[in-house]
Amino acid sequence: MSIVASDSINSCPDAQFVLDLCTHLGFAAAGITPARPITYHHELRQWLADGQHGEMEYLARHVDLRIDPSVLMPGCKSIIVVADRHGPPDELGDSPRSPTGRIARYAQGADYHTVMKKRLHQLCDALRARWPGFEYRAAVDTAPIMEREHAARAGLGYIGKNTLLIQPGIGSYLMLGEVLTTLEVPQAGQPVIADHCGSCTRCIDACPTTAITPYSVDAHKCISYLTIEHRSGIDPQYYQAMGDWIFGCDICQQVCPHNGDTGPTQLAPTNPAYDSRLTGFNLMEILKWSDEDRRQAFAGSAMKRAKLDMMKRNAIIAAGNGGLADRLGPLVCDKSEPEVVRQTARHVIGT
């Protein structure tokens, strides 16, 4: 995958030095954009006002920081956006009646926060050595940044109808990171990739919980949100649609034409750190986990965001969908389990 930059940026030795550093550090793509306020701030505020962020209250805090990078970092002039790529998930298909719960592809390898942050700090160090006296801040989901819009401005792709960043011909199996800096990297133009979704609605049609409308996702319905971010009980109306997903969901990406098995996607490099180490967990084993079991199972993984009671809740729903409801009875009366676990078991077995 080539580094993304406009001709005007390529003609600038300072910008090219930065982009070459990103390539040297192994990022699949990189671009630079001025640190301007986001364009869709009205839509963001309306999405929050409508409560579509669910229990993710952190999204409603510090909205001004999300809108304008110069509020997050006073004097911020440029944002360097980088991307890592992981391999595609397994093919879609009806899951067998199995005691295994699936996890999203991005979480099957090493934790992208750790993998990317180390190299972003190295990038900051190199920039600081070349241009001392400026500030550099690395971020991988650790700062209130609307990273996909900045990535689109930097030429790494466009934001699709499923709200993910898509690079035409390469797809959306990307993890993003940024360096915010008070250094103004000279550039004379903006590389922009046009929207390639057109009339396609495959992601919208395939979403089993109808969470997606064009260019927006209602977190209340999204399987990724429900299994990873939602801390309390899940509305039973979504149980069947959740299938065997226990951490995240890949459906809207699996059906996207840009993620198809094509020449470009076969040639696009992936970071071996994200090679699959596990694709799922035995559901009945999860129900026996202690906190220490969970910590060991999630060591080095992005899955540690999901707490033990959440994983048991998710496993109960998947077990019910997999024909294992008759094995969940003991959980209903087990007062050593959190209420969300017992309540979910009651709903699944119909008591």
Quote the percentage of the chain above a pLDDT of 90: 73
Matching residue, tokens 């990171």:
177
Average pLDDT over residues 128-147: 93
pLDDT band at 244 (very low <50, low <70, confident <90, very high): very high
Q: Is the pLDDT of residue 232 over 80?
A: yes
Contacts of 330 (CB under 8 A, 6+ apart): none
Q: Assess contact for 294 and 321: CB atoms under 8 A.
A: no
Q: Is the pLDDT of residue 241 over 70?
A: yes
Q: How far apart are CA 80 and CA 311, in angstroms?
A: 35
Average pLDDT over residues 142-163: 94
Q: Considering 141, 275, 291, 334, which one is annotated as catalytic?
A: 141
Q: Is the pLDDT of residue 189 over 50?
A: no
pLDDT tens for 153-170 read: 999 999 999 999 999 988
Model pLDDT, residue 103: 96
Cβ atoms < 10 Å from Cβ of 288? 9
Q: Is the pLDDT of residue 44 over 60?
A: yes
Model pLDDT, residue 257: 94
Matching residue, tokens 């990535």:
151
Please report how many Cα atoms fall inside a 13 Å half-sphere around the Cα of residue 337, on the Cβ side. 26
pLDDT band at 187 (very low <50, low <70, confident <90, very high): low
Strongest mean pLDDT among 8-22, 92-106, 129-143, 179-193: 129-143
Q: What SS3 string covers the chain?
A: CCCCCCHHHHCCHHHHHHHHHHHHCCCCEEEEEECCCCCCHHHHHHHHHCCCCCCCHHHCCCHHHHHCHHHHCCCCCEEEEEEEECCCCCCCCCCCCCCEEEECHHHCCCCHHHHHHHHHHHHHHHHHHHCCCCCEEEECCCCCCCHHHHHHHCCCCEECCCCCEEECCCECCEEEEEEEECCCCCCCCCCCCCCCCCCCCHHHHHCCCCCEECCEECCCCCHHHHHHCCCCCCCHHHHHHHCCEEECCCHHHHCCHHHCCCHHHHHCCCCHHHCCCCCEEEHHHHCCCCHHHHHHHCCCCHHHHCCHHHHHHHHHHHHHHCCCHHHCHHHHCCCCCCHHHHHHHHHHHCC
Active site residue 141: yes
Q: Is the pLDDT of residue 12 over 60?
A: no
Model pLDDT, residue 91: 60
pLDDT band at 351 (very low <50, low <70, confident <90, very high): low
Q: Is the pLDDT of residue 202 over 80?
A: yes
Name 159's bridge partners: 165
Least confident of 8-17, 117-126, 195-204, 209-218: 8-17
Q: Is the pLDDT of residue 46 over 60?
A: yes
pLDDT band at 63 (very low <50, low <70, confident <90, very high): confident
Matching residue, tokens 């700090």:
121
